[in-house]
């Protein structure tokens, strides 16, 4: 069973009792009891709101929706070359295939042939210019999915093309200065230097380190692939069931593609079988194609990608290539950095600009950098267009800084933890980020100190050294890495959300909000918030599908902000209803409305204890509005894209991890022996769900750092690793036998929902510790005298190459 499966299952069907013993001190019986006493429904561990449906196989994913009579199925004909022009195609041969109803090309699109989320540079179907191998050129609609797929497979022979030389690597693109968006620059000097001055300061520093690093991309590998089911409605309307993190954007892009107004398009998503960023923008192409076919044929059309097609058509995490030049002192303190980052954007812009912006804003990770000059380039290549993936450039920014500090420590013969500490952001000074936001909630010392003690770091460092001294073939490695992760969309206007709460006459409650459920437990948390606000049992609250006809103009569920934004919006809606109920209770029973208490499924007023449902029924008779909208916009954010400065993050989430590995230096194979994670979620809304996110994020990030490798054929540009046979993600077997996961005891200094913190993405950076533990083990081969040149992913082959390099040095 692979880990993403494991994570989905944990979210859905973890044997709950087993799960709870692992929850740490925040959820001891005492805390839970006092929370319940106060009528609180937040802060307690609860199973996922759909857990029973998940385990019984009755949760409805898009492909499980009962098909309407007349439903047709769609499959895509993909470009067999990476670059060039489409000359002609013998589509008659495709049309002649059994069951084929219609073949669509770009010419059949009634509106705009574009599904680009930010720039309009993403054709839905090939417009003549071939951009990558795997690009959808035509869409076949047939009576069955099998028939559609067989006909679409003719693409290889029926498409007549003129091939051009593809640009396949970020290096090639950078040489040609071929980018999807303008390069980005951020220079910041605490002593007022310009870039030349910063470079001079680096040269004058006591020590200098320059080098380069390659970091690969990563496939989202959601369990449920991309899918859309489009149902034509009367009067030109369109209803689409879409597995998407961004229903509103699907609505707008489908409207453009059909040439109709947004009000005629309804996009609905009850849940995804995982998104991980891969359905933030890239669900659009399939929603548009299904809608175009459904509109034209006036029949329901379903488009569900095969796993291989999903790999071939859609993008993933951006690979990065870095060149750094660093000056540092005898303690390992960084005095100045000049950095060039080139990301592998692929054929179009997609979200690459925002991803690079986040990479630049996360390069500092946990460290104060007095002088820094950063340059980011988003390389345009003839490959799939890369997109959001958990962390959204943050991991790519921070990993380079960690690589630098790890290298500095080895050069100085110091423990890497000491060097990391020497560079931590301070409190009251050394606390301004390169983009000039002040770090006001710094808990790095506390979190790292606590983890260092609980993981027995110092003693195990000695044990590892002892082991290595007497073990010529197997080498152990140990590393502790911290995380600081800025929370908010880095595009200010996206930080808003809406909700709609209905209280029905029987006292049951239906909640709708703009966020989407992808397994992360957002609906569970929002239901807890609403139950808490109205002082009712969790079981009264039901979550409905995300639906663009209920809450308009929503943002993607992304940037880990789902519960921050939608939790607050739903709280706002629930509070309005509660205040109306309280006023009505006071009027009926006496006393002040401010004194009416809602707790334990009861309402307390004027010395009486009333049933919540009776209060609701009374309010109805008194003609009180029993439903409400709610809205939230994150306060205090600002960003100047030109200077790359401002206050882009509402707050930071922190964490740290210690990993211990053993490496077989003859084969490059390795095993994670133990991992200790301490992560900050503020005051947790649901410790069980949060721990699940931390475990899942850790293992998923470990896959990226160590085993998931993307290989494009160097001449044809064909993605060779387009299925689990060749693309290896972690399995349950890769989980460490000792896996200690704790929540850091604390609360958000900002007024985030119930003082919690976002948890979706930050834990993905915790497995940096696995990578640096491997690097530590490899460097033990050379007595820690040399910095092993280890790329990400540190596959067994890469580890062997690094060992060879260390031995030759």
Phi and psi angles of residue 698, each rounded to the nearest 5 degrees, phi first: -65, -50
Tokens linked to 104 = 């669509």
Out of 339, 342, 388, 605, name the contact with ligand HPA by CB under 6 A: 388
Separation of alpha carbons 351 and 523, rounded Å: 26
Based on the shown chain and the rule CB under 6 A, indicate whether residue 358 belongs to the binding site for ligand HPA: yes
Selection from 108, 170, 117 nearest residue 136 by Cα: 108
Specify whether the CB–CB gap between 768 and 398 falls below 8 A: yes
Q: How far is CA 427 from each of CA 188, 314, 424, 452, 532, rounded to the nearest angstrom?
A: 20, 43, 10, 20, 35
Specify whether the CB–CB gap between 706 and 795 falls below 8 A: yes
- Cα dihedral 528, 529, 530, 532 sign: positive
Out of 14, 266, 558, 699, name the contact with ligand MTE by CB under 6 A: 558
Per the listing, tokens 């069931």 go with: 241
Out of ligand MTE, ligand HPA, ligand MOS, none, what residue 491 binds, judged by CB under 5 to 8 A for its kind, is ligand HPA
Verify whether residue 761 is a known catalytic residue.
yes
Based on the shown chain and the rule CB under 6 A, indicate whether residue 491 belongs to the binding site for ligand HPA: yes
CB nearer ligand MOS, residue 255 or residue 351: 351
* Site residues (CB under 6 A) for ligand MOS, limited to 613-672: none
Separation of alpha carbons 315 and 674, rounded Å: 33
Specify whether the CB–CB gap between 633 and 565 falls below 8 A: no
Out of 730, 760, 767, 788, name the contact with ligand MTE by CB under 6 A: 760
> Angle, nearest 10°, between helix axes 768-780 and 394-412?
30
CB nearer ligand MOS, residue 390 or residue 421: 390
Based on the shown chain and the rule CB under 6 A, indicate whether residue 245 belongs to the binding site for ligand MOS: yes
Based on the shown chain and the rule CB under 6 A, indicate whether residue 522 belongs to the binding site for ligand MTE: yes
Out of 301, 558, 610, 778, name the contact with ligand HPA by CB under 6 A: 558
Out of 116, 123, 277, 514, name the contact with ligand MTE by CB under 6 A: 277
Separation of alpha carbons 409 and 778, rounded Å: 15
Based on the shown chain and the rule CB under 6 A, indicate whether residue 557 belongs to the binding site for ligand MTE: yes
Applying CB under 6 A, what is the total number of residues that bind ligand MTE? 24
DSSP per position, 571-625: HHHHHHHHHHHHHHHHHHH-S-GGG-EEETTEEEETTEEEEHHHHHHHHHHTT--
Selection from 483, 481, 788, 809 nearest residue 663 by Cα: 788
Out of 276, 367, 457, 489, name the contact with ligand HPA by CB under 6 A: 489
Out of ligand HPA, ligand MTE, ligand MOS, none, what residue 700 binds, judged by CB under 5 to 8 A for its kind, is none
Specify whether the CB–CB gap between 525 and 563 falls below 8 A: yes
Supply the minimum distance, in Å, between the C-beta of residue 359 and ligand HPA.
11
CB nearer ligand HPA, residue 389 or residue 604: 389
The residue range among 318-326, 387-395, 459-467, 792-800 that interacts with ligand MOS, by the rule CB under 6 A, is 387-395
Based on the shown chain and the rule CB under 6 A, indicate whether residue 392 belongs to the binding site for ligand MOS: yes
The residue range among 254-262, 483-491, 500-508, 529-537 that interacts with ligand HPA, by the rule CB under 6 A, is 483-491
Supply the minimum distance, in Å, between the C-beta of residue 801 and ligand HPA.
34
Out of ligand MOS, ligand HPA, ligand MTE, none, what residue 358 binds, judged by CB under 5 to 8 A for its kind, is ligand HPA
Phi and psi angles of residue 610, each rounded to the nearest 5 degrees, phi first: -110, 150
DSSP per position, 75-141: EEEE-SSSSEEEEEE-HHHHHTSTTEEEEE-GGG-SS-S---SSSS---SS--SEE-STT-EEEEEE
The residue range among 306-314, 478-486, 559-567, 628-636 that interacts with ligand MTE, by the rule CB under 6 A, is 559-567
Give the angle 484-337-759 at the CA atoms, nearest 5°. Answer: 10
CB nearer ligand MOS, residue 215 or residue 626: 215
Q: Give the contact letters, 336-355, x = binds to ligand HPA (CB under 6 A), - = no.
A: ---------------x--x-
Separation of alpha carbons 375 and 14, rounded Å: 44
Supply the minimum distance, in Å, between the C-beta of residue 515 and ligand MOS.
11
Q: Give the contact letters, 103-122, x = binds to ligand MTE (CB under 6 A), - = no.
A: --------------------
3-state secondary structure of 744: coil
Separation of alpha carbons 359 and 72, rounded Å: 42
The residue range among 41-49, 383-391, 690-698, 719-727 that interacts with ligand MOS, by the rule CB under 6 A, is 383-391
Out of ligand MOS, ligand MTE, ligand HPA, none, what residue 354 binds, judged by CB under 5 to 8 A for its kind, is ligand HPA
CB nearer ligand HPA, residue 320 or residue 392: 392
* Site residues (CB under 6 A) for ligand MOS, limited to 270-289: 277, 280
Written in H, E and C, the secondary structure of 664-725 is: ECCCCCEEEEEEEEEECCECCCCHHHHHHHHHHHHHHHHHHHHCCCCCECCCCCCECCCCCC
Separation of alpha carbons 6 and 443, rounded Å: 31
Find out whether the peptide bond into 89 is cis, omega within 30 degrees of 0.
Answer: no
Out of ligand MOS, ligand HPA, ligand MTE, none, what residue 674 binds, judged by CB under 5 to 8 A for its kind, is none
Phi and psi angles of residue 730, each rounded to the nearest 5 degrees, phi first: -60, 150
Residues that bind ligand MOS (CB under 6 A): 245, 277, 280, 388-390, 392, 558-559, 761
Residues that bind ligand MTE (CB under 6 A): 7-8, 11, 274-277, 390, 518-520, 522, 557-563, 693, 696, 758, 760-761
Residues that bind ligand HPA (CB under 6 A): 280, 351, 354, 358, 388, 392, 489-491, 494, 556, 558-559
- The set of catalytic residues is 761
């Amino acid at each position: 069973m692979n880990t993403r499966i494991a994570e989905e299952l944990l979210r859905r069907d973890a044997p709950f009792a087993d799960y709870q013993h692992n929850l740490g001190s925040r959820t001891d019986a005492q805390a839970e009891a006092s929370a319940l006493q106060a009528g609180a429904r937040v802060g307690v561990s609860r199973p996922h709101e759909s857990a029973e449906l998940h385990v019984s196989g009755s949760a409805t994913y898009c492909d499980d929706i009962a098909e309407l009579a007349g439903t047709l199925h769609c499959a895509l004909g993909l470009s067999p070359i990476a670059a060039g022009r489409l000359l002609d195609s013998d589509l008659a041969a495709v049309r002649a295939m059994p069951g084929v109803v219609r073949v669509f090309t770009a010419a059949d699109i009634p509106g705009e042939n574009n599904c680009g989320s930010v720039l309009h540079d993403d054709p839905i179907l090939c417009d003549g210019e071939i951009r990558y191998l795997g690009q959808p050129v035509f869409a076949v609609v047939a009576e069955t999915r099998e028939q559609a797929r067989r006909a679409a497979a003719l693409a290889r022979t029926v498409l007549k093309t003129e091939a051009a030389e593809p640009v396949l690597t970020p290096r090639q693109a950078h040489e040609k200065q071929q980018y999807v968006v303008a390069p980005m620059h951020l220079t910041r000097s605490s002593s007022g230097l310009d870039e030349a001055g910063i470079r001079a300061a680096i040269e004058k520093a006591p020590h200098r380190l320059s080098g380069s690093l390659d970091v690969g991309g990563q496939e989202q590998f959601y369990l449920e692939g991309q899918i859309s089911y489009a149902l034509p409605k009367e009067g030109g309307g369109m209803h689409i069931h879409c597995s998407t993190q961004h229903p509103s954007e699907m609505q707008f892009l489908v409207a453009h593609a059909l040439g109709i107004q947004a009000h005629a398009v309804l996009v609905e998503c009850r849940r995804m079988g995982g998104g991980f960023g891969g359905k933030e923008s890239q669900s659009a192409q399939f929603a548009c194609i299904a809608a175009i076919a459904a509109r034209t044929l006036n029949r329901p059309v379903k488009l569900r990608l095969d796993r291989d097609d999903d790999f071939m058509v859609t993008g993933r995490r951006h690979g990065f290539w870095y060149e750094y030049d660093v000056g540092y002192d005898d303690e390992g303190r960084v005095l100045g950095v000049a950095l060039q980052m080139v990301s592998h954007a692929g054929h179009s812009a997609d979200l690459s600009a925002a991803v690079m912006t986040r990479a630049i804003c996360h390069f500092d990770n946990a460290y104060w950098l007095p002088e820094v000059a950063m340059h980011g380039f988003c390389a345009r290549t003839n490959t799939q267009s890369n997109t959001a993936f958990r962390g959204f450039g943050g991991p790519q920014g921070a990993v380079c800084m960690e690589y630098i500090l790890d290298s500095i420590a080895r050069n100085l013969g110091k423990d890497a933890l000491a060097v990391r500490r020497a560079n931590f952001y301070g409190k009251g000074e050394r606390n301004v980020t390169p983009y000039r936001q002040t770090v006001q909630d710094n808990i790095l010392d506390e979190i790292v100190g606590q983890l260092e003690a609980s993981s027995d770091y110092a003693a195990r460092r000695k044990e590892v050294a002892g082991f290595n001294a007497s073990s010529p073939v197997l080498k152990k490695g140990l590393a502790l890495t911290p995380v600081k992760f800025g929370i908010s969309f880095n595009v200010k206007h996206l930080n808003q959300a809406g909700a709609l709460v209905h209280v029905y006459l029987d006292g049951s409650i239906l909640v709708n909000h703009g966020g989407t459920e992808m397994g992360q437990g957002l609906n569970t948390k929002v239901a807890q918030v609403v139950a808490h606000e109205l002082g009712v049992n969790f079981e009264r609250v039901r979550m409905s599908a995300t639906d663009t006809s209920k809450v308009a103009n929503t943002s993607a569920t992304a940037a880990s902000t789902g519960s921050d934004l939608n939790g607050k919006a739903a709280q706002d809606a629930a509070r309005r209803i509660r205040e109306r109920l309280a006023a009505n209770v006071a009027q009926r029973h006496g006393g002040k409305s401010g004194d009416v208490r809602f707790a334990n499924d009861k309402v307390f007023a004027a010395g009486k204890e009333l049933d919540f449902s009776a209060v609701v029924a009374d309010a109805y008779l008194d003609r009180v509005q029993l439903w409400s909208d709610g809205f939230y916009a994150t306060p205090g954010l600002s960003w100047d894209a030109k200077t790359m400065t401002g206050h882009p993050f509402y707050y930071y989430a922190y964490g740290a991890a210690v990993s211990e590995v053993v490496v077989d230096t003859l084969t490059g194979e390795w095993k994670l022996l133990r991992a200790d994670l301490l992560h900050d979620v503020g005051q947790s809304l649901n410790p069980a769900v949060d721990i699940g996110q931390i475990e899942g994020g850790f293992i998923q990030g470990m896959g990226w750092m160590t085993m998931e490798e993307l290989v494009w054929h160097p001449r044809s540009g064909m993605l060779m690793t387009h299925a689990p046979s060749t693309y290896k993600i972690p399995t349950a077997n890769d989980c460490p036998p000792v896996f200690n996961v704790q929540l850091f005891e604390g609360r958000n200094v900002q007024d985030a929902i119930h003082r919690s913190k976002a948890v979706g993405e930050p834990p993905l950076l915790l497995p940096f510790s696995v990578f640096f533990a491997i690097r530590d083990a490899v460097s033990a081969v050379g007595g820690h005298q040399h910095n092993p040149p280890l790329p990400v992913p540190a596959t067994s082959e890469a580890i062997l190459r690094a060992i060879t390099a260390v031995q030759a040095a």
